[in-house]
Amino acid sequence: MNKKWIMTAAGALIVFIIATFTVLDTKVVEIEARLDSKEIVESIHSDKGSVLIDSFKEVPASIRFVDPQRIEVSGEHKIYGQGIYEIDLRQMQVKKSDTLDVSDKSLYMEILRSDYGLILVKKDGSPGLFHQLSDGTLKRISSNFLVSTAPDVELSASGDKLIYCVRESAQMATYNLNTFKKKVISGTLPEYVLNNFHASIELSPDGGYFMVYKRGDKLSESTLNVYGADSGRKYVDEVMGTSPKWAPDGKRLGFIYSGQLGDKSALTDTRVGYILFPEREVVYFDLVDGQQALSQKLHWSEDGKKLYYMRSALESGKLTLRSFDVDSGLLSGFDLAENITNVPDDIQVSEDMIVMYWEEDKALQIYDLNGSILLPVERIDTIKFFDTQDRPYLISNGHVGYYKDNQICIFSSKARETLIGEAIQEFVFSSDSNWVLTGVPSDGGYNLNVVARKKP
């Protein structure tokens, strides 16, 4: 039998055995091997469902779960240098990935990354916006785009639509990373939008539309315009509204009607509604009388079917969370606990929980969908997350994760658990919540630890 074939088969068997023992919670084992291809098999330490990767020099530039058992890491490997690496939890391997990288790093700088390629600008500061494809092909998007510390560019959540500002003509333009089609939107942008790109321009999550929001000096002067990202067609023209919020599916844009606000600083005597696309239908479903005030933030459920917002009684200060079901037309709500007097800074709704967060107090409170308290107010520690910096807690697959007293706390409507996590700087869930990935600085490097919460 071919000797090379025997060695390959033996190596595969060793990897399989080690991976199997790891899942079955056996003692610490180590492997070290090399493949002839671009793939690299690391030395992997495993102990009772915990996998340690200690081969990166510093905190990686980005980390994400590609699927529940594959992790993509962009960073500097101690031996193999800068690049994209894949941690495969099925095979218990760390591989050098073929994921797209900037083809000419001496000339171009990456500013955005998508499954459809990279968005680049010139390093020397000369004009130009470019799209690099997976095969390394470079396509020029714009010849007069100038980069800044916060480039006037936004990528849709779907990753296939780009929007940017053409400053020479004061216009917006869109670019489809899948079809390579570009559309310059007719009409010039007001000075406010030009000077506040990221606060004024927002693509719908599916990339089908984009909104131009102009907040006036008075709330009553705030307006919304919405365009088709491919067609450039104007779907919404100067609707008087504030606090716009796209639904996750991009089919609705929630807002608070601003036309009745006059010179008021508080959101009272006004209506809550949404705009339906592509029908351009405006639906108002709640009128707030003079005894109530609205918070200036709207929140959609993950499926885009319910819109949540906070109301407060001006006299008593009682807070009420309201929700509107777009399918049934049912308006419902519940009062927050009596000791809660400040409007939450952030509200996130999962499949069976509502999580509220107060920035000043660094505190969480969790309710079920009917308003029963699942977790009383609990103070948490600020920590970074690999996949988002938007808030100091994570929601994944019906689980809430946060950091407190050197422990990672994982809460669901059915159970609560803690993982010891001293000196942790970052962590993230896998999409199925079965794995927790943490990052900790070490002597001469940065350690990644992947812990199985249950048998994967």
Main-chain dihedrals φ then ψ at residue 190, nearest 5 degrees: -70, 160
Q: Using an 8 Å Cβ cutoff, are 399 and 429 in contact?
A: yes
Distance CA 353, CA 320 (A): 16
pLDDT at 365: 94
Q: How many residues does the chain have?
A: 456
Which tokens go with 3? Answer: 């000797």
Give the whole-angstrom CA distance, residue 378 versus residue 404. 9
pLDDT recorded at residue 10: 37
Q: Report the alpha-carbon distance of residue 372 to residue 376 in Å, rounded.
A: 10
Are 223 and 216 a contacting pair, CB within 8 Å? yes
111, 142 Cβ separation under 8 angstroms? no
Give the number of other Cβ atoms within 10 Å of residue 228's Cβ: 17
Angle subtended at Cα 321 by Cα 319 and Cα 323, rounded to the nearest 5 degrees: 155
Three-state DSSP string of the chain:
CCHHHHHHHHHHHHHHHHHHHHHCCCCCECCCEECCCCCEECCCEEECCEEEEEEECCCCCEEEEEECCEEEEEEEECCCEEEEEEEECCCCEEEECCCCCCCCCCCEEEEEEECCEEEEEECCCCCCEEEECCCCCEEEEECCCCCCCCCCEEECCCCCEEEEEECCCCEEEEEECCCCCEEECCCCCCHHHHHCHHHHEEECCCCCEEEEEECCCCHHHCEEEEEECCCCCEEEEEEEEEEEEECCCCCEEEEEECCCCCCCCCECCEEEEEEECCCCEEEEEEEECCCEEEEEEEEECCCCCEEEEEEEECCCCCEEEEEEECCCCCEEEEECCCCCCCCCCEEEECCCEEEEEECCCCEEEEEECCCCEEEEEEECECCEECCCCCCCCEEECCEEEEEECCEEEEECCCCEEEEECCCCCEEEECCCCCEEEEEEEECCEEEEEEEECCCC
Smallest Cα–Cα separation from 74: which of 66, 82, 168?
82
pLDDT for res 74: 84
Indicate the residue type of 140. R
Residue 316: per-residue pLDDT: 85
Contact 192, 212 (CB under 8 A): no
C-alpha distances out from residue 21 to 68, 340, 451, Å:
19, 49, 15
Backbone angles phi, psi at 227, to 5 degrees: -125, 155
> Letter for the amino acid at 13?
L
- pLDDT 10s per residue in the chain (456 long)? 444 433 333 343 333 333 332 232 323 333 333 333 446 657 666 777 788 888 899 888 888 888 888 898 888 888 888 888 888 888 888 888 766 778 888 889 888 888 899 999 998 888 889 999 988 899 999 988 877 767 889 999 888 999 998 877 888 899 999 999 999 988 788 888 888 888 899 999 999 999 999 887 777 788 999 999 888 889 999 899 989 999 999 999 999 988 777 665 567 778 899 999 999 999 999 888 878 888 888 999 988 999 999 998 888 889 999 999 999 999 999 999 888 888 898 898 888 899 999 999 999 999 999 999 999 999 998 877 776 556 788 888 888 989 888 888 899 888 888 887 777 888 888 888 888 888 888 888 898 988 887 654
The CA-based diameter of the chain, rounded to the nearest angstrom, is 87
Gap between the Cα atoms of 79 and 444, Å rounded:
13
CA distances (Å), origin 278, targets 248, 282, 306: 15, 11, 19
pLDDT of residue 12: 39
Burial group, residue 104, by CB count within 10 angstroms (0-12, 13-18, 19+): exposed
pLDDT value at residue 390: 65
Determine the pLDDT at residue 264.
59
Q: Residue 4's pLDDT is what?
A: 40
> What is the phi/psi pair of residue 54, to 5°?
-115, 30
